[in-house]
Chain A
């Protein structure tokens, strides 16, 4: 098993390296260069001296190969340079917001899993009954409804309910407390994060529900399930111990893969709920022509994606011994 983990871990290096190089050259496709576009993009007047200072600050006055080396070394040592917008170190800016986004992502995953696995299972057991149709409509809708619109609908729901209830429209505060030790903070954070988690989690749970349903349907047709029924095993045990466990493999893959996409989905949801997370930072950096920041954030998302894929593979190998020994 440990051999498998090491092998799989080594495989992530070329992908990360390739992605870094791709991002590096992508940012150099910009007509002119990032300093020129950044200074012209904000619409203000600028002179040659400012351009020169900007260029030497980011180091784009040096030969490309030197730049690439410096950039890769920076990534390896977690030194992304300074933001072109605020002037502060990018690591600091990201560090401030990473936790919030991660918390939403985790909460959304938990919510989605809690919804998806029971729903998918029931839907498979009661195939082609009205329960099945309701669950399937729920999941088809979840894939079509954009998460930002669902988020807006949630906000509407909260506003209308509170207005009807108390006469004054109310929204949860948007102040995230990174200190999770006191109950007040925990309830504050939970009340804050649950709505964006629901908004992103709906789509997520829809995908996972579909997967659970079809995996369960397949497993329920297996011979060993018939054997279990024939020997008079309680239905609950057949479902829990014999079917669900075997149906979990593809579901775990989907949950893991969607987790990585969630980090991308947060870009829109954080905007809806006005939360100061990585997604909002990303949109701001694109709007403000903050290229060093965009570059760093893309790499952070890619790293999360590659790392999640790695975890899924390891978990998969742990669940299914056949993969480990191939």
Chain B
């Protein structure tokens, strides 16, 4: 979804100067942003893995097999098996599904809620904006994982509650970025014109302001996905996230991975590689999206 929007923005710009095919635009983008293209590749592979997990996996990810416990990587089990004889490769492929589900859902919901709150705060301004800012300050005083753990302690564990736990701390972070962009837009004459036409607040916010803060919104979403995957893995590792037997990368590291350090190190190595690669891919991709959509936000 995000992939296409990036291309669309680029190609719109390109059509102004010279007519070019979409394929050529993509090639050009890849040449200009090789790291971003590499990140996008990882992201696409991960999405494909998650979508076609049923066809790709050689084994059932939750089926125990006591005949093949802690088997080393080989021809039958490419990445080996865990202490219950479950195939690691299959679990990692299905784990991509969990990671993406949690990552995308929480960042899209969190960023969207932040978008509405941020634009609303900037639009109404005055006392509302001031109070809103102080409330956001308070939320920002909680480190991500601490807030997530507090939410888990209230709602309990499980995939759905993990999504809530990750979404809530994202909202103020996105709201703040969107608000600062929206503040500039509020002063633009077409907003005055819309107001003079007697449009309702909702219409001005949704039709005139929101489309103009799409760039920071999309940037926040792509930046959040990697963080959300990392956070989900941490929570699951602590036993406070996704629960067994659902395949999740963080959970795979928790279930006795350390006890089998010497006899079956692959149990702890491959899921960690999967987490790192996924976060790495989303970070590179997010950086590229940010550079293309809004060069001013480029972090130093």
A residues with a Cβ closer than 8 A to B are 14-16, 18-19, 22-23, 26-27, 29-30, 140-141, 143-146, 148-149, 152-153, 155-156, 159-160, 163, 169, 211, 214-215, 218, 250, 260-261, 263-265, 267-268, 271-272, 282-283, 285-287, 289, 291, 294, 298, 301-302, 305-306
In the complex, the 8 A-B pairs of residues with the closest C-beta atoms, listed nearest first: A264-B143, A149-B272, A144-B280, A18-B138, A214-B300, A144-B279, A286-B153, A264-B145
Contact between A146 and B135, CB atoms less than 8 A apart? no
- Chain B neighbourhood of A218, CB < 8 A: 300
Q: Are A305 and B143 in contact (CB under 8 A)?
A: yes
Q: Are A268 and B142 in contact (CB under 8 A)?
A: no
The answer for the CA separation of A22 and B280 in the assembled complex, in Å, is: 34
Q: List 6 A-B contacts (CB under 8 A).
A: A15-B138, A148-B234, A271-B238, A283-B240, A286-B240, A287-B239
The interface residues of chain B lying within 8 Å CB-to-CB of A152 are 253, 257-258, 268, 272
Of A144, A152, A263, most B-chain CB atoms within 10 Å? A144
- CB of B135 within 8 A of CB of A18, answer yes
Interface of chain B residues 249 through 268 with chain A (CB within 8 A): 250, 253, 257-258, 261-262, 265, 268
Knowing A140-B283, A268-B237, the reply to whether A29 touches B154 (Cβ < 8 A) is yes
User: Which residues from chain B contact A265 at a C-beta distance below 8 Å?
Assistant: 145
Chain A residues within 8 Å of B151, by CB: 26
Contact check: which of B141, B154, B272 meets A26 at CB < 8 Å? B154
B153 / chain A contacts, CB cutoff of 8 Å? 285-286, 289, 291, 294
Give the interface SS of chain B, mostly helix, strand, loop or mixed. helix
Q: Say whether, besides A141-B276, A211-B300, A271-B238, A23 and B143 are in contact (CB < 8 Å).
A: no
Task: Please judge, given known A-B contacts A140-B283, A141-B276, A211-B300, whether A22 and B146 are in contact too, CB under 8 Å.
Answer: no
Complex Cα–Cα for A291 and B137 (A): 24
- In the complex, A268→B154 CA distance in Å? 19
Chain B nearest CB from A253 CB (Å) reads: 12
Complex interface: chain A residues within 8 A of B142 (CB): 19, 298, 301-302, 305
Task: Report the Cα distance A101→B141, complex, angstroms.
Answer: 19
Say whether B141 contacts A306, CB under 8 Å: yes
Q: Closest residue of chain A to B239, judged by CB? A: A287
Residues of B within 8 A of A (CB): 134-135, 137-139, 141-146, 149-154, 226, 230, 233-234, 237-240, 250, 253, 257-258, 261-262, 265, 268-269, 272, 275-277, 279-280, 283-284, 299-300
Query: Smallest Cβ distance from B280 to chain A, in angstroms?
Result: 4
CB pair B283–A149 under 8 Å, yes or no, is no
* Bound Cα distance A26, B150 (Å): 8
Determine whether the beta carbon of A267 is less than 8 Å from that of B238. Answer: yes
Residue numbers in B under 8 Å from A159 (CB-CB): 261-262
Taking the closest CB of chain B, its distance from the CB of A161, in whole angstroms, is: 12
A residues less than 8 Å from B134 (CB atoms): 14, 18
A16-B141, A149-B268 known; 6 new pairs, CB 8 Å cut-off, are: A22-B138, A146-B230, A159-B261, A265-B145, A282-B146, A302-B146
Give the residue name and chain of the B residue nearest to A265 (CB): B145
Given known A-B contacts A18-B135, A140-B283, A152-B268, A23 and B150 have beta carbons under 8 A apart: yes
Measured CA separation A40–B262 after assembly (Å) = 40
Assembly CA distance A58 to B143 (angstroms): 27
Contacting residues, chain B, for A141 (C-beta < 8 A)? 276, 280
Chain A residue nearest to B287 (CB atoms) is: A140
Is the Cβ of B234 less than 8 Å from the Cβ of A268? yes
Q: Are B145 and A145 in contact (CB under 8 A)?
A: no
Whole-angstrom distance between the Cβ of A203 and the nearest chain B Cβ: 10
When A14-B134, A27-B154, A30-B154 are in contact, do A286 and B141 touch as well, CB less than 8 Å?
no
Query: With a CB–CB cut-off of 8 A, which chain B residues contact A211?
Result: 300
**Which residue of B234, B265, B280 is within 8 Å of A156 (Cβ)?**
B265
Which of chain B's residues has its CB closest to A215's CB? Answer: B300
Residue of A15, A30, A169 touching B141 (CB-CB under 8 A)? A15
- CB of B226 within 8 A of CB of A144, answer yes
Q: Within 8 Å CB of B276, what residues of A?
A: 141, 144-146, 149
Q: Which chain B positions have C-beta within 8 A of A19? A: 138, 141-142
Nearest CB to that of B231 among chain A residues?
A: A146
- With both chains docked as a complex, state the minimum distance between the C-beta of B248 and any C-beta of chain A, in angstroms: 13
Residue among A160, A169, A265, A267 facing the most chain B CB atoms (10 A cut-off):
A267
Q: Tell me the smallest distance from the CB of A82 to a CB of chain B, in Å.
A: 18
Task: List chain A residues, Cβ under 8 A from B275.
Answer: 146, 149
Tell me the bound Cα distance from A265 to B149 in angstroms: 12
Bound CA–CA A214/B137 (angstroms): 27
Q: Smallest distance from the beta carbon of A80 to chain B beta carbons, Å?
A: 15
Residue of A nearest to B35 (CB): A140
Q: Is the CB of B143 within 8 A of A301?
A: yes
The answer to whether B300 touches A263, judged by C-beta atoms less than 8 angstroms apart, is no
Q: How far is the CB of A67 from chain B (nearest CB, A)?
A: 17
Q: How far is the CB of A142 from chain B (nearest CB, A)?
A: 10
Bound-complex Cα distance A261 to B141 (A) = 10
Q: Which residue of B lies closest to A304 (CB)?
A: B143
- The answer to whether B143 touches A287 (Cβ under 8 A) is no
How far, in whole Å, are A289 and B268 apart by their CA atoms in the complex? 29
Residues of B within 8 A of A145 (CB): 272, 276, 279
